[in-house]
Amino acid sequence: MTWQQIYDPFGNMIISTALAAIPVVVMLAALGFFHIKAHIAAGLGLIAALLVAVFAYGMPADMAGRAALYGGFTGLLPIGWIVLNIIFLHQLTEQNGSFKVLQDSLSGITGDRRIQLLLIAFSFGAFFEGAAGFGTPVAVTAAILIGLGFSPLAASGLSLIANTAPVAFGALGTPVITLAKVHGYDLMEVTAMVGRQLPFFSLLVPFWLIWAFAGRKGMWEIWPAILVTGVAFAVPQYLVSNFIGPELVDIIAAIVSMASLVAFLRVWKPKTVWTSPSLRGRDISAAEAKPPQPVTQHSRAALVAAWMPWIILSVFVFIWGLPPVKAWLNSLFAPAFPMAGLHNLIEKVPPVVPTPTKEGAVYTLNLLSATGTAILLSAVVSAFFMKYHPVAIARTFFKTVWLVRFSLLTIVLMLALGTLTRYSGTDTTLGLAFANTGVFYPFFGTLMGWLGVALTGSDTASNVLFGGMQKVAAEQLGLSPNLMGAANSSGGVMGKMIDAQSIVVASTATRWFNHEGDILRYVFFHSIALACLVGLYVTLQAYVWPFHLMVVH
């Protein structure tokens, strides 16, 4: 029997919205205010979501349970699989000693912590966002930063802040491609529109990142390096998105940004070298930061060997992200399992969609094409390159599984919660609350994208969730549908730093277990402030700079 979603079950949007928000409030309050461990907080949020879905929204209990189970499977693959294998690779390089050589090589480029952040957290992270997405950049950059001696809160929080501007074009443009495919946008037009929103923030975020770490004075001391990093990313981001397409935006922009910064450092040096590894001001993890170590000079062969695992990782992840490779791997093995009792048995209804639309629920076991598998293979290849014995490789892998067991459980529970809110319609209720804002819709519609990513952990999922609603609302209000579709994705990127799965990935990569609430409290202001700035920018595009809406490709 088909069940139709109800978005205002009490005939009063204030009451319905308050009820829909309960699971999110429970989870965030448990994490941020009551210092409850992440997997327990996620479990409490999931229980609240089940109660709201069944007793307030009338969702059949068996459907609610199956939706949560479906989300849990998604948490294991692809998200948990990425986290497990990137930590596995990191463990191998640490045990082997090559990670220390890598740290020394990065410190050899610059001993200034601020510039290390620009190079690793922003530019290098953007490359991994473009190639893989789905938690990979935060896992990689946070692991490198903690290895360089940054405090756990600095490594976690700053990796999350840096991983914002590239997210809309992450995983070879998946969020924008999905937005166009699912909701009928013109791909090049909506890609170009995102490419006229995010470059401004690609220029702003590096300044914001260093200000968050070192304060205003520390930021202005290296403004030339920050400007080079931001401009070298923002200009290719605009050009590629407007004239080529979404697939290679981040990869090209990241390579240009890294190369430009390294070249600039050959002719410019900061007057003072910032060596503090902790956040300026209050950093509760400062005592856990490693003291600055003298930089050891290594031979060219040692440097090549230290960088080789990460080069191998980059190559594998890039190849795995190519659509023809992914399609070929899926043709070999990618069994699909429709969720009995859920698949095509739930209908979305107007005003979210023009006509009642069935919600599919098919779990695809795409183990071969998953990004985590590329990371696993790169780790194994790297292990042999580092002369590990097969038994030692297996021992390290199972040691890693035990190390991240609670993080994997948290991710499973978080994805179960997010998927349940999608199928029960409670997240749509929250979205509709934003839609009822009239002339302020460009601002609040952008925040809808932010909310979508904060809830689901994915810009792609947020675009699937709210992309159609943005299009309908924009047409009703006489706004450009492409503007608001793009705003959903651009606003969503700022929610990436507070979504639960990203915070768990960061805490796992830095081994700062059970401190997810501390990370959330630190990044929350940065997330909402940047999201509001995106909303203001989109409002200016809508009402002040209409020429900005013209397609130029």
| Mean pLDDT calculated for residue range 65-93 | 86
Q: What is the average pLDDT value for the chain, to the nearest integer? A: 88
| Mean pLDDT calculated for residue range 178-195 | 86
Q: Spell out the alpha helix ranges (H) of 386-440.
A: 390-403, 405-424, 426-435
499: which DSSP letter?
A: S
Q: At residue 354, does pLDDT exceed 70?
A: yes
Reported as a single tens digit per residue, the pLDDT across 467-525 is 877 887 787 788 898 999 999 999 999 999 998 878 988 998 888 888 888 999 999 99
Contact between 58 and 425 under an 8 Å Cβ cutoff? The reply is: no
Structure tokens at 483: 């503007």
291: which DSSP letter?
A: P
pLDDT band at 553 (very low <50, low <70, confident <90, very high): very low
Question: How far does CA 507 lie from the centroid of its chain?
Answer: 14
| Mean pLDDT calculated for residue range 119-144 | 85
| Distance of alpha carbon 162 from alpha carbon 120, whole angstroms | 9
| Mean pLDDT calculated for residue range 363-381 | 91
What size, in residues, is the chain? 553
Element spanning 359, H or E: strand 357-359
- pLDDT at position 27: 80
| Distance of alpha carbon 453 from alpha carbon 435, whole angstroms | 17
Question: How far does CA 164 lie from the centroid of its chain?
Answer: 7
- pLDDT at position 137: 87
Contact between 105 and 374 under an 8 Å Cβ cutoff? The reply is: no
pLDDT band at 294 (very low <50, low <70, confident <90, very high): low
| Distance of alpha carbon 409 from alpha carbon 504, whole angstroms | 10
DSSP strand pairing (3-4 vs 362-364): unpaired
Let me know if 224 is exposed, middle or buried by CB neighbors in 10 A (0-12, 13-18, 19+).
Answer: exposed
Contact between 485 and 528 under an 8 Å Cβ cutoff? The reply is: no
- Break the chain down into helix, strand, coil percent, rounded to 5: 75, 5, 25
Phi-psi group of 64: left, alpha or beta (phi > 0 → left; psi -120 to 50 → alpha; rest → beta):
alpha
Give the count of beta carbons closer than 10 Å to the beta carbon of residue 163: 30
pLDDT band at 295 (very low <50, low <70, confident <90, very high): low
CA dihedral 265, 267, 270, 272 (to 10 degrees): 110
- The amino acid present at 416, given as its one-letter code, is A
- pLDDT at position 552: 46
| Distance of alpha carbon 142 from alpha carbon 121, whole angstroms | 8
359 φ, ψ to 5°?
-95, 120
| Distance of alpha carbon 142 from alpha carbon 130, whole angstroms | 17
Most confident of 7-11, 85-89, 409-413: 7-11
Whether residue 351 has a cis bond before it, omega within 30° of 0: yes
| Mean pLDDT calculated for residue range 531-538 | 96
Q: At residue 109, does pLDDT exceed 90?
A: no
- pLDDT at position 87: 80
Question: How far does CA 458 lie from the centroid of its chain?
Answer: 6
C-alpha neighbours within 13 Å on the C-beta side of residue 424:
38
Could you tell me which residue, 292 or 91, shows the higher pLDDT?
91
Q: At residue 108, does pLDDT exceed 90?
A: no
Contact between 226 and 251 under an 8 Å Cβ cutoff? The reply is: no
Structure tokens at 405: 């067991």
206 φ, ψ to 5°?
-60, -40
| Distance of alpha carbon 456 from alpha carbon 48, whole angstroms | 16
- pLDDT at position 257: 96
C-alpha neighbours within 13 Å on the C-beta side of residue 458:
27
pLDDT band at 38 (very low <50, low <70, confident <90, very high): confident
- pLDDT at position 184: 73
